[in-house]
Amino acid sequence: MAEASGTPLRQKAAGLLDSPFIGMSPWIVFSLFVGPGRFEWAVVIALTISIALVVVSRLLKPGGSLKILEVSDVVFFAVLAVIGALASPGTHRWLETYAGEVSNIALTVIAFGSMALHKPFTLQYARERVDPALWYSPAFLRTNYMITGVWGLAFLVAAIAGAFGDLVLHNPNNIWTGWIIQVLAIVAALRFTAWYPEVVRARAHGGPQHLPLAGLLLPLAGLLVPIGIAVLIFDGQLWWLGVTLIVVGSGLTRRLKQQNDRDGTQPAPAAGPDGPG
What pLDDT score does 3 carry?
A: 46
Distance CA 65, CA 129 (A): 13
Nearest to 108 by CA among 143, 72, 159, 145: 159
Asked whether 249 and 224 are in contact (CB, 8 A), the reply is yes
Asked whether 172 and 36 are in contact (CB, 8 A), the reply is yes
What pLDDT score does 11 carry?
A: 60
What pLDDT score does 189 carry?
A: 92
Residue 19: phi, psi to the nearest 5?
-95, 130
What pLDDT score does 15 carry?
A: 62
pLDDT < 70 positions in the chain: 1-17, 63-65, 206-211, 263-277
In angstroms, what CA-CA distances link 54 with 74, 133, 143?
A: 9, 27, 26
Distance CA 24, CA 262 (A): 34
What pLDDT score does 6 carry?
A: 57
